[in-house]
Structure 1
Amino acid sequence: MNLILGIVIVMGCVLGGYAAHGGQLMALWQPYEVLIIGGAAAGAFVIANPFSVTKRALGGIGQIMKGSPYKKTHYQALFAVMYDLLSVARKEGMMGLERVIEDPTKSEIFAKRPLILKDKHVIEFIQDYLRLIISGDMDQHQLEALMDVEIETHHHDAGEPAGALSKVSDALPGFGIVAAVLGIVNTMGALGGPPEEIGKKVAAALVGTFLGILIAYGFVGPMSTAMERMARDETQFYNTIKICILGFLQGHPPQVAIEFGRKATPGELRPSFKDLEAQLRGKKA
């Protein structure tokens, strides 16, 4: 939604201001300039990145339309799942926990929270570290270090599409200049012709520079920033899971371990203490 709103604002203000100054909007319609700039940017993107990054970048643009999936309801579902899992570990021991996480699709704990169940990577993250706890072969500090390494690696992978788009944004003004230079070359070939024709060709060349700068700073750059933010949101979600698990490993009861995770949640997504307490008390009843 923000993507569409932002595009409307950018285009409305830029084109509206131009038209209000007496500019002719059709003079900005230069499809060959768009082809040169867009084609050069797309080609450079393909050269610089493997197909996997290209695919994720395109998917990330679609995700911007929907917004970050990690909202307050997602965190509330996570805390409910973690509380139930840690409660099983406390009451039934590690064997009971192992039975629950062996197949999450058959577990009532996960089935009641589809927001978590449908996130394959989150499920795997929870499973992997609870299995390591069950095995008993790693102490708390080793487990925390391993979690940090995995979260950092995941963040790097999630941030690759944003970094790739950012580099394209940096290059777009240069491609605009390329289009403008080609337009000037085309204009030089028309010298001696009607002034109207020369004027149109000069205008087309200048539009190339305009489009390169506008697309870079009005669209591609902001989309890169939005994708980077979504990658940070995902990393923070994994960090919250880590804090809950570590709180439990330190010997705290499940409700306290969940409170540790709540404190690690971004402010705008963090459920209040009363809301979380009411939710967990409801599960106890």
Structure 2
Amino acid sequence: MDILTLIGLALGFGAILVGNILEGGHTDSLVQGVAFLIVAGGTVGAVMVQTPLSVFLRSLKMFMWIFLPPKVEQKAAVEKIVSWSNIARKEGLLGLESLVESETDSFAQKGLQLLVDGSEPETIRSILEVEIGVKEHFDTQAAKVYEGLGGYSPTIGIIGAVMGLIHVMNNLADPSKLGSGIAVAFVATIYGVGLANLIFLPVATKLKGIIHNQTQFREMVVEGVISIAEGENPRNIETKLDGYLH
């Protein structure tokens, strides 16, 4: 669980709500169903227009990463790769064959299989780097969905504000209807700017950071596998891979 995300969300929304109360405002004045419908519906609709279905669905699955990011155990991976190099040094690359099926990480498993198959180092690098690039690009596009939400949200909020003011202008003769129109106008703007800067844009940035860490982890695996294929000394491999550790 990423506790910093929870603290950040609580602090961001809490500061706004407490500030509103301290200024004499009422919390229920910020709750406007119509304004939320305009901003949320319009923003999501706009992003769906620009996003392929596969990328949009991927972005929904990745949202939970901000609370439960995928584990990237770099230290354990370094130790595992060094153990592979020791086995390869003593028994040859075929000695790694029994480890392929038991490897839980699919990327590392592919690297092991390429080693066992006796592929050339440059061939191994080429195959694995293609997978890294494609995976990073796809996940980055999914993270950019939240950037899109953050970009459209304030604009849709302004549209909601204009609609509220139009409602006010159409009912100048009926003062009883002016309050609701003005409320929708201002609250829609708050929703648009608030959602963009407290949720959508921070989520996009955090997801990109997680994707970067995953890419760096896979690059470390590639370097380890290539080093084994080239017959490097296990101690040298460990020293090289330690450079990836934070």
TM above 0.5, yes or no, is yes
Going from structure 1 to structure 2, the CA distance change for 1:245 and 1:57 (only over 3 Å counts) comes to: same
Deviation, 1:163, is: 0.9
Matching residue of 1:213: 193
Matching residue of 2:147: 166
Matching residue of 1:66: 68
2:109 aligned partner, one-letter code: Q
Matching residue of 1:27: 29
Q: What's the TM-score once normalised by structure 1's chain length?
A: 0.78
> 2:151 matched to 1:152?
no
Matching residue of 2:111: 129
> 2:214 matched to 1:258?
no
> 2:182 matched to 1:182?
no
Listed one character per residue, the Cα deviations across residues 8-62 of structure 1 (whole Å, up to 9, x for unaligned) are 1111111211221222222211111001111112222322223322222122111
Aligned residues: CA RMSD: 2.0
Distance 2:106 2:97 in 1: 14
Deviation, 1:209, is: 1.1
> 2:219 matched to 1:239?
yes
Deviation, 1:164, is: 1.2
Partner of residue 45 from structure 1, selected from 44, 47, 50: 47
Distance 1:239 1:50 in 2: 28
Contact 1:147 1:242 in 2 (8 A): yes
Contact 1:170 1:216 in 2 (8 A): yes
Listed one character per residue, the Cα deviations across residues 114-172 of structure 1 (whole Å, up to 9, x for unaligned) are xxx2xxxxx3322333333344442x344334433322222111212111111111111
> 2:34 matched to 1:9?
no
| 3-state secondary structure, aligned to 2:24 | coil
Distance 1:219 1:178 in 2: 20
Distance 1:183 1:29 in 2: 15
Distance 2:156 2:241 in 1: 47
1:55 aligned partner, one-letter code: L
Deviation, 1:231, is: 0.7
Deviation, 1:241, is: 0.6
Q: What are structure 1's unaligned runs of at least 5 residues?
A: 105-109, 111-116, 118-122, 268-285
Matching residue of 1:273: none
Contact 2:89 2:231 in 1 (8 A): no
Deviation, 1:68, is: 4.5
Distance 1:40 1:11 in 2: 22
Contact 1:15 1:25 in 2 (8 A): yes
Distance 1:12 1:133 in 2: 53
Identity percentage over the alignment? 25
Going from structure 1 to structure 2, the CA distance change for 1:137 and 1:144 (only over 3 Å counts) comes to: closer
1:51 aligned partner, one-letter code: L
Matching residue of 2:78: 79
Matching residue of 1:270: none
Deviation, 1:205, is: 0.6
Contact 1:68 1:233 in 2 (8 A): no
Listed one character per residue, the Cα deviations across residues 101-123 of structure 1 (whole Å, up to 9, x for unaligned) are 2x22xxxxx4xxxxxx2xxxxx3
Q: Which has the higher relative contact order, 1 or 2, with Cα contacts under 8 A spaced 6 or more apart?
A: 2
1:34 aligned partner, one-letter code: F
Deviation, 1:193, is: 1.6
1:262 aligned partner, one-letter code: D
Distance 1:235 1:223 in 2: 18
Distance 1:18 1:201 in 2: 20
Matching residue of 1:96: 95
Distance 1:237 1:221 in 2: 25
